[in-house]
Amino acid sequence: MDDLRDYRFYANDMLHPSSSAVDYIWEKFSETYFEKSTIELQLSVQKITKAVEHRIMTDSEIKKKMFAEKILKQINDITEKTDLIDFSSEINYFAALLDNNC
């Protein structure tokens, strides 16, 4: 609790937690209650969801295709380990990105 007394952990209204506070609390919670494999899985899934939100700025069709293939491989690697996560929308997104490049 002493860590959270710092002003950087409060939103502008000085009442609600900031996004950095939420991230800090989640990190401490995860370290305490999750196994290492769960944390690694969560980080991998987070990378994929960030990739979907990523705005592709290149005009190079080859780079776009390589990016989509890389993320699809990461999704495949995760789904080989566990079937508990539904990546159908992410797979559709990157498959469409591949189709647009061909």
For residue range 5-27, what is the model confidence (pLDDT) as tens digits?
788 889 999 889 999 999 999 99
Q: Give residue-wise pLDDT tens across range 55-75.
A: 888 888 889 999 999 999 999
pLDDT at 80: 94
Instruction: Judge whether 42 and 32 are in contact, CB under 8 Å.
Output: no
The domains of the chain are located at 1-33, 36-102
Mean pLDDT in residue range 40-64: 91
pTM, rounded to two decimals = 0.75
C-beta of residue 49 within 8 angstroms of C-beta of residue 90: yes
